[in-house]
Amino acid sequence: MDLIVSTDALTSFCERATKFEFVTVDTEFLRETTYWPRLCLIQVATDDEAVLIDPLAPDIKLAPFFALLADPNVTKVFHAARQDIEIFVKLTGAVPHNIFDTQIAASVCGFGDSASYDSLVRSICKVELDKSSRFTDWSARPLSEKQRTYALADVTWLRDIYRELRKQVEATRRWDWVEDELATLRSIDTYVVRPEQAWERLKMKFNRPRDLAALKALAQWRERRAQETDQPRSRILKDDVLHELASQRPLTPEAFDKLRAIPRGFGRSNAAGEIIALLKEVEALPKSALPPMPERYRGPSPKGAVGDLVRVLLKAVSEQHGVAARIIATSDDIDALVLDDDAEVPALKGWRRKLFGEKALAIKHGRIGLVATRKGIIEFAVNQAEAAE
């Protein structure tokens, strides 16, 4: 096995790799105690060799590998690429060029939603992987022989998986389906977390505009502090603490001690001082500067019978076409289209609309129904009389 620990050796390998149509790529990293993932190992394979690149080696610079990632003539094949690409975006400021994700391809080729790498190795390569080294300490040196074998397997079998899935995508003419999903991975916005948008990932509902303004300010403060100190968000403040702070808005150190989610004594910390200053700014906002609350919808609940019918339809379409349901529509997509025929969701655009969206709207408006046959297959039945009404 080749373990690359010098820039010269890495340069030589990357020069060889550029002569191939594709390379397979994977990483090992640690993130339990940091905001940013700490890269510990890079695995890369071409058609005729596989190597481990040690980014922790004292005599290595990764510039030759980053140049390979940027080469548009070489396809970079990942499995479940998002976290790997996030690491490279942090290190280089750019998304690798010409990427392919086998998990996405598998989802449109009948392998189910979010197919794991070992399940694809099992079903396509007929091999059972030893995954016992998955959660070992990848920052420890030297790497054990077992760790190195495990790490290389993540890119060697990936070559066969890529070839097979590419063949299936071409045979089913579903390249546009794959490309739609890859577009998200190719966008740098997927990996850049902007503190001012941090509140959007929190599934919290408030009835008062000032509570929402406080949540936005607190989430931005936490995200920025987590990034600057390289700590997980939860080590700064947990989500339930943000909710309580936004709704109660303590303005003195003593007021913090009355909150259930806050550790006693926190109100006298430097962080509490920053939070108090932040909340005082929120309290001083005029009503005209507060964020608007979403309009309360008065129609059928997307979680009710109509939403249930659309979800049954999604399952039927998914099984009929051998495509993972999540690729066609998410639960949020279904909620949105039940509320609005013109919702800005992928399920109502392009191939997804033809495959599913139009039928979902037809069910919503009673133009079609669902029938279960004795074989358990869901069919689509049109009732012309009711449709005319």
Q: Which residues are catalytic?
A: 26, 28, 84, 150, 154
CA distances to 33, 88, 223, 272 from 199, in Å: 22, 25, 9, 19
Contact call for residues 42 and 96 (beta carbons, < 8 A)? no
Contact call for residues 59 and 4 (beta carbons, < 8 A)? no
Helices (H) and strands (E) in the chain, counts: 18, 8
DSSP string for 189-229: GGT---GGGGGGG-----SSHHHHHHHHHHHHHHHHHHHHH
The residues, any chain, with a CB within 8 Å of residue 40's CB and separated by 6 or more, are 27, 28, 29, 30, 55, 56, 138, 139
- DSSP classification of residue 79: S
Enter the tokens of residue 379: 């069919």
How far apart CA 39 and CA 69 sit, in angstroms, is 16
How far apart CA 99 and CA 86 sit, in angstroms, is 13
* 145-172 vs 175-186: helix crossing angle, rounded to 10: 130
Contact call for residues 161 and 120 (beta carbons, < 8 A)? yes
Among residues 93, 48, 54, 96, the alpha carbon closest in space to that of 74 is found at 96
